[in-house]
Amino acid sequence: MAQNGRGNEAASYIIVFRTNSRPGNMPEFANAYGLQVTAEYHHVLNGVAAVVPAGRLRALQNDPRVAYVEADMEMSIQVQTTPTGLPRAFATSNTNIDIDGSDDFRVDVDVAVLDTGIDRQHPDLNVVGGIDCTSRQGCRAGTTGDDDHYHGTHVAGTIGALDNGIGVVGVAPGARLYAVKVLNRRGSGTTSGIIAGIDWVVAQGTIEVINMSLGGSGVSSAYRTAIDNAVAHGVVVVVAAGNSDANANNYSPAYVPSAITVSALADFNGLAGGGAAATCRADVDDTIADFSNWGSAIDIMAPGVCILSTYPIEEGSYGTISGTSMASPHVAGAAALLASRNNPNNAADVTNIRNTLVNNGNSNWSSAGDTDGIHEPLLDLGNSSVFNPVYVAGSGN
């Protein structure tokens, strides 16, 4: 991240102020440096995002009120090229998760999907709110976060598709979903827009889980501060490890310690033991996906290859893709099951949810092709006394 002070051309930066040093008159501060402020952060970051004119970066960095200035990085979806993931994580064998093809109960939890949005009209998704944070003005009131790509809708289905007898079913069936659009129709966005989305989620005060199936190379301090503060407010943040077959410690937000970082398992039949033939892409059954990032930043693994989930209606309603983007929402759904019964209010509560997920994971996958020597736990929802969510009535009641 550029903190070199050259400032040879106008560019977007995230400006973080020192504690108790936020300028009282933001327009005056912006005018002093010729800034075009594009977003203001109040809940998870003490700062703003702004376009800094050529030649003004060094002076801005030297302002005594400024802690640091970080280049606004481009982020993108973590997708590689369907639902076998649920039986592989033993969600379907846990009778307390109540996957029976009837929308009689829905998990009583709120989950924000920070992504390309969610198809608000999809009959298999319980979308209750949303917002668009992709503009240079931050999150825009009155917008819905509707999906003009497909990625966010796919992620949302893995988390919470309705158990209604059609299409697919999610890990936390019927969870209340919030479409926080931080990536555009090309699947790209910026750190500043994504942090604006995190800020919006925390401001709602009722959302227990965030899923972020996105990322980029480089280590962002602003990301870490924002996620740390979201966690401090009692929000579980689940992120994709990345798809570069590289060390996740060098990617944001995957490296952030307070987030739950998820790598991807290749599984083609929903069963342990390996040996299944590959389906939608070449890989080896029951091993770490050949694209998945790895390393000490990984907390847990989940199925992420050839995952069937929801698509926008105009894109065919359902589709199969692969990536750590598809692994992360399995874990976000699992976190949602736990959060429905033990609503997190602070960082300690979030840590308890993380530890429960990790400690209940199993080691029943092959280390073949796993070069980092770390055999991370594989998501396992089979313990019905632990994964015993709270429900509200569905449309089938």
Cα 263 to Cα 328: distance, rounded to the nearest angstrom? 8
Cα 228 to Cα 351: distance, rounded to the nearest angstrom? 12
Active site residue 233: no
Angle 159-270-259 (CA atoms, 0-180°, nearest 5)? 40
316 contact partners, CB below 8 Å, separation of at least 6: none
- The three-class DSSP label of residue 324 is helix
Instruction: Enter the DSSP assignment of 248.
Output: G
Residue 216 identity (one-letter amino acid): G
Q: How far apart are the first and last CA of the chain?
A: 53
Q: Specify whether the CB–CB gap between 20 and 210 falls below 8 A.
A: no
Active site residue 325: yes
Neighbours of 81 (CB within 10 A): 12
Lookup result for tokens 């998945």: 292
Phi-psi region of 186 (alpha: psi -120 to 50; beta: other; left: phi over 0): alpha
Q: Specify whether the CB–CB gap between 143 and 179 falls below 8 A.
A: no
Active-site position among 151, 154, 233, 330: 151
Task: Of 342, 339, 351, 337, give the one whose Cα is nearest residue 380.
Answer: 337
- Partnered with residue 112 across adjacent β-strands are 178, 210
Active site residue 76: no
Neighbours of 62 (CB within 10 A): 9
Active-site position among 192, 220, 309, 325: 325
Active-site position among 72, 108, 115, 146: 115
Cα 53 to Cα 248: distance, rounded to the nearest angstrom? 33
Distance of CA 269 to the CA centre of its chain: 25
Record the tokens describing residue 247, joined without a space. 């060390």
Residue 223 identity (one-letter amino acid): Y
As annotated, the active-site residues are 115, 151, 325
